[in-house]
Amino acid sequence: MSMVPVVELKEVTQVYVTDREATLAIDRISLTVNPGEFVSLVGPSGCGKTTILSMIAGLLHSTTGEVKVHGTNVQGPSPTVGYMLQQDYLFPWRTIADNVCIGLELTGQLTAQLRDYTLQLLEEMGLSNTAQLYPHQLSGGMRQRVALVRTLATNPDLLLLDEPFSALDYQTKLQLEDLIVETMKQHQKTAILVTHDLSEAIAVSDRVIVLERNPGRVRKEFVIPDGIRQAQPFYAREQEGFNQLFHNVWKELEATERRES
Amino acid sequence: MQQPMEAQDPIRSLHQQHLQQKKRLRHVVFGTQLVILVAFFALWEIAGRLKWIDVLLFSYPSKVFNQIGNDMMDGSIWPHLGATVGETIVGFLLGTLLGTLLAAFIWWWDFAAKVLDPYMVVFNSMPKVALGPLFIVGFGPGFMAIVATTLSITVIITTLTVYQSFRDVDPNYVKVIRVFGGRKRDIFYKVILRASYPAILSTLKVNVGLAWVGVIVGEFLVSKVGLGYLIIYGFQVFNFTLVMSTLVLIAVVATVMYQLVAYLERRLR
């Protein structure tokens, strides 16, 4: 494996300026994500998790510091980076097939061959026979799987997952976690997940990074032991050491809140 | 598992009952509407013939429908009807199109939106009909001045409505486009404009009504032809049968036009 990290943040600062004030949202965060890694960011709301993803995705420029993807400074959105939002945001006026092909359309790669590949991905996700349907005809879990296919269609090697399970019911969420982790491994993708759900973070990740807020900083990093890492997310929760780890992460999060009050 | 027949029948009969009730209500509503219409014309006719009302001012239905019939037979109504319908169609289509283009322009160039805002507010608050004389001077007494009057009524309100709809599009849809490296024109065509179709179609419907106002007022002011002209002419020569027959025609044609656009809206939505 190449030793160039997929993502590298060096002393990154982000200041948000509004009419009322300028606030320091992120304070000198440094972060490295290696090829094939699955890293989760957890922390209280307002700790800048989504801001970090936006900077890596090229939607937002850092105020100071360096944001690099594959060793080059991020200038803007790139086809090598995929982004999944909290909700599916499928376009209601497009069929499922046209929805999943929007990325190919926008990057000018919409060939018959890639379209077929994308429709085949739909089938792999258990969504055969949905191509000609409209989003409102699908359940929430199916729609989020469609959104996953839409993200994978342009073949990004880094996926930014911004709480993609938070709007789903518990059962669907567990199923989708398994599906996403399996897909990431199978296609050898690197992923950064933002989540509120600690047990989810531990179950799916190789590393969990706890952030604190006001301003956003890295508080602590947990490396997930092999036993939990290698199990499917659903079973990872039953592995030895899972509960202890959960408590440790929990304590760190609690500490961030105590620090404020 | 199949339901036993006994269990199904009462359910089905409840559904049948429900459908019958709805049907009955529909018939009663329609019947009442018909009674009101017939009663109105009957009362008007009787009141006119028995001289309860001044026939010179209010005419009565058989005279009115005679007038319409005669005008159609001798062909004298068609140029007027054609002119007015033409002006109205041009007015509401062009009004919606220009309003949407202007909305697109100020969406695209936020600076323009900020600069133009007070002008649009002032213009929108004005009674546009007051501008009539300017249009006559500017465009000459005819088709152009009438269409200009119509546009003055429709364009700004269309712009404001459509622009608001552009702005109300969920920014997360825009984010979907942006993460794939989509540019502003992609955002506009693939999301903003497409998501605003319903709003644009409904302004089209509103503009049909506004265009009629603009056209009739415009014809009052300038023209030598058209239904608005007929009303003014009938008024000046004290032929109120002509005025009334023209109003009936306007009611019918305007309703047909509105229903056509409403149908189009349902099809395109």
Q: What is the pLDDT of residues B8-41, one digit of tens each?
A: 688 889 999 999 999 999 999 999 999 999 999 9
Return the pLDDT at B2.
Answer: 56
Consecutive H or E run containing B114:
helix B110-125
Return the pLDDT at A238.
Answer: 82
Locate the chain A residue with the closest alpha carbon to B172: A89
Whole-angstrom Cα distance, residue A76 to residue B192?
21
What pLDDT, in 10s, does the model give residues B197-216? Answer: 999 999 999 999 999 999 99
* Contact yes or no for A28/A65 (Cβ under 8 A): yes
* Contact yes or no for B226/B80 (Cβ under 8 A): yes
| Record: contact B175-A81, CB cut-off 8 A | no
| Record: contact A106-B181, CB cut-off 8 A | yes
Locate the chain B residue with the closest alpha carbon to A90: B173
- Shortest distance, CA A147 to any CA of chain B (angstroms): 10
| Record: contact A89-B181, CB cut-off 8 A | no
Q: Measured between beta carbons, which residues in chain B are less than 8 angstroms from residue A103?
A: 180
| Record: contact B179-A91, CB cut-off 8 A | no
- The pair of structure tokens assigned to A198 is 């600690």
* Cα–Cα nearest to A60, from A162, A151, A157: A162
Return the pLDDT at B213.
Answer: 93
| Record: contact A102-B177, CB cut-off 8 A | yes
Whole-angstrom Cα distance, residue A63 to residue A61?
6
- With cut-offs at 50, 70 and 90, classify the pLDDT of residue B251: very high
Q: What are phi and psi of A40, to 5 degrees?
A: -110, 145
- Cα dist from A73 to A7, A23, B181, whole Å: 10, 24, 16
- The pair of structure tokens assigned to B167 is 């702005």
- The pair of structure tokens assigned to A151 is 């993200």
Whole-angstrom Cα distance, residue B135 to residue B125?
18
Q: Measured between beta carbons, which residues in chain B are less than 8 angstroms from residue A82?
A: 179
Question: Which of A82, A83, A89 minimises the CB distance to B173?
Answer: A89
Between A241 and B97, the higher pLDDT residue:
B97
Question: Where are chain B's structural domains?
Answer: 5-53, 66-268
Ordered DSSP codes for A83-127: EE-SS----TTS-HHHHHTHHHHHTT---HHHHHHHHHHHHHTT-
Locate the chain B residue with the closest alpha carbon to A155: B180
Whole-angstrom Cα distance, residue B160 to residue B207?
13
Is B4's pLDDT higher than 70?
Answer: no
| Record: contact A83-B175, CB cut-off 8 A | yes
DSSP A4: S
Is B69's pLDDT higher than 50?
Answer: yes
- Give start and end residues of each alpha helix (H) in chain A: 49-57, 96-100, 102-106, 112-124, 140-153, 170-186, 198-204, 226-230, 233-236, 242-260
* Cα–Cα nearest to A58, from A73, A46, A71: A73
| Record: contact B176-A79, CB cut-off 8 A | no
Per-residue model confidence as pLDDT tens for chain A (261 residues): 457 899 999 999 999 998 998 988 889 999 999 998 999 999 888 788 889 999 999 999 999 999 999 999 999 898 889 999 988 999 999 999 999 999 999 999 899 999 999 999 898 888 888 999 999 999 988 999 999 999 999 999 999 999 988 888 888 888 888 888 888 888 889 999 999 888 889 988 999 999 988 888 888 888 888 888 888 888 888 888 888 888 888 888 888 777 666
For B66-268, the fitting CATH number among 2.90.10.10, 1.20.1260.10, 1.10.3720.10, 3.90.550.10 is: 1.10.3720.10
Rounded to two decimals, the pTM is 0.85
Between B4 and A239, the higher pLDDT residue:
A239
Locate the chain A residue with the closest alpha carbon to B182: A106
Return the pLDDT at A1.
Answer: 47
Question: Which of A91, A93, A102 minimises the CB distance to B180?
Answer: A102
Return the pLDDT at B5.
Answer: 54
Name every residue in B having a CB less than 8 A away from some CB of A.
Answer: 170, 172-173, 175-182, 186, 190-191, 194-195, 197
* Cα–Cα nearest to A215, from A8, A10, A16: A16
CA angle B184, B187, B190 (to 5 degrees): 140
What angle separates helix B197-222 from helix B77-108, to the nearest 10 degrees? 130
* Contact yes or no for B112/B105 (Cβ under 8 A): yes
Q: Measured between beta carbons, which residues in chain A are less than 8 angstroms from residue B195?
A: 93
Ordered structural domains, chain A, with CATH: 1-74+203-261 (3.40.50.300)
Name every residue in A having a CB less than 8 A away from some CB of B.
Answer: 57, 59, 76-79, 81-83, 85, 87, 89, 91, 93, 102-103, 106-107, 150, 154
Is B6's pLDDT higher than 60?
Answer: no
Q: What's the distance, CA A91 to chain centroid?
A: 21
- Beta-bridge partner residues of A162: A194
| Record: contact B176-A89, CB cut-off 8 A | yes
Which residue pairs from A154-157 have beta carbons closer than 8 angstroms and sit at least 24 positions apart in sequence?
A154/A79, A154/A82, A154/A103, A154/A104, A154/A107, A154/A109, A154/B180, A155/A79, A156/A79, A156/A80, A156/A81, A156/A82, A156/A189, A157/A6, A157/A35, A157/A80, A157/A188, A157/A189, A157/A190
Task: Determine if residue B181 is left, alpha or beta; phi over 0 gives left, psi from -120 to 50 gives alpha, anything else beta.
Answer: left
Is B7's pLDDT higher than 60?
Answer: no
Interface test with A, best of B180, B200, B268 (most A CBs within 10 A): B180
- Give the SS3 label for residue A258: helix
* Cα–Cα nearest to A28, from A45, A6, A5, A52: A52
Q: Average per-residue pLDDT in chain B? A: 91
